[in-house]
Amino acid sequence: MKFATAASAALLGTTVFAAPLILGSSDTASAAILGSTVWGAPFLVGSSNPDTVNSGTPSDTVQTDTPSATYKIQDFTTRKYDGQHINTMSFKIVAFNAETLADCFSEDFVMNQRYTCSNGRFSFTYVDYYDWVKPTELSIREETGDQGPIGGSTNFTTPPCRAGGSGPKDVICQLPESQNVQVELSPVESK
């Protein structure tokens, strides 16, 4: 039997020690209302799902589906000293509970090259098509341990730019705070 949410386990009258939540749901309250205990279920939207769920019986560990996650991208910024080609870029990978999981940056950006983020758990590639017709593509990869990496991509229009200040063509391009960019990660090949 597989538990999809903490609420599923609660309906069965079990104690859940690390129940994954379906992306977009928050069923820990349901489990509490139904009288089950949810221990250490920090797997809010924006965190990776765990490998197993303990249903309360010492020898009863159930394998869950493959890991997946959805994260927000915040403070996405590129800098183009010549006004056209990206020289530096940075952004944050943030869980939906507002916890910053990684700071990602490149000082000498090369398009479509993989860069490792601050904590080593995440990496990224980015492609900017330098126009407003075809959206940019940001790909995120997360190392999840024994089950292998998960990854995904998101597209958005090239961020609006403003003067950068270190030369006549220098521009800084930032996604507006109001633009919510999300990336869903699912299993990918190990490379």
**Are 155 and 176 found together in one domain?**
yes
Looking at 26, 47, 65, which one is the last position of a domain?
65
Contact call for residues 89 and 126 (beta carbons, < 8 A) = yes
Question: Over 50: is that where the pLDDT of 27 sits?
Answer: no
Per DSSP, the residues of 55-103 read: -SSTT-EEE-PPP-EEEEEEEEEEEETTSSS--EEEEEEE-TTS-EEEE
Question: What CATH number is given to the structural domain containing 161?
Answer: 2.40.350.20
Pick the range with the lowest mean pLDDT from 11-15, 124-128, 137-141: 11-15
**Total number of domains constituting the chain:** 2
Q: What percent of the chain has pLDDT over 70?
A: 62
- Mean pLDDT, the chain, integer: 71
Averaged pLDDT, 121-135: 83
**Are 119 and 80 found together in one domain?**
yes
Looking at 39, 65, 91, which one is the last position of a domain?
65
Label residue 113 exposed, middle or buried (CB < 10 Å: 0-12, 13-18, 19+): exposed
Closest CA to 141 of 105, 116, 168: 116
Contact call for residues 23 and 68 (beta carbons, < 8 A) = yes
Averaged pLDDT, 126-155: 85
**Are 48 and 107 found together in one domain?**
no
CA–CA dist 123, 139 (Å, integer): 8
Q: Please tell me which residue, 24 or 93, carries the higher pLDDT value.
A: 93
Q: What is the pLDDT of residue 82?
A: 94
**Are 54 and 121 found together in one domain?**
no
**Are 4 and 90 found together in one domain?**
no
pLDDT in tens, 87-111: 999 999 999 899 999 999 999 999 9
Contact call for residues 6 and 28 (beta carbons, < 8 A) = yes
**Are 81 and 49 found together in one domain?**
no
Helix H or strand E encompassing 39? none
CA 105 remoteness from chain centre: 15
**Are 158 and 82 found together in one domain?**
yes
Q: What is the domain extent for residue 126?
A: 69-187
Contact call for residues 49 and 20 (beta carbons, < 8 A) = yes
Q: What percent of the chain has pLDDT over 90?
A: 41
CA–CA dist 36, 129 (Å, integer): 51
Q: What is the pLDDT of residue 66?
A: 63
Contact call for residues 35 and 3 (beta carbons, < 8 A) = no
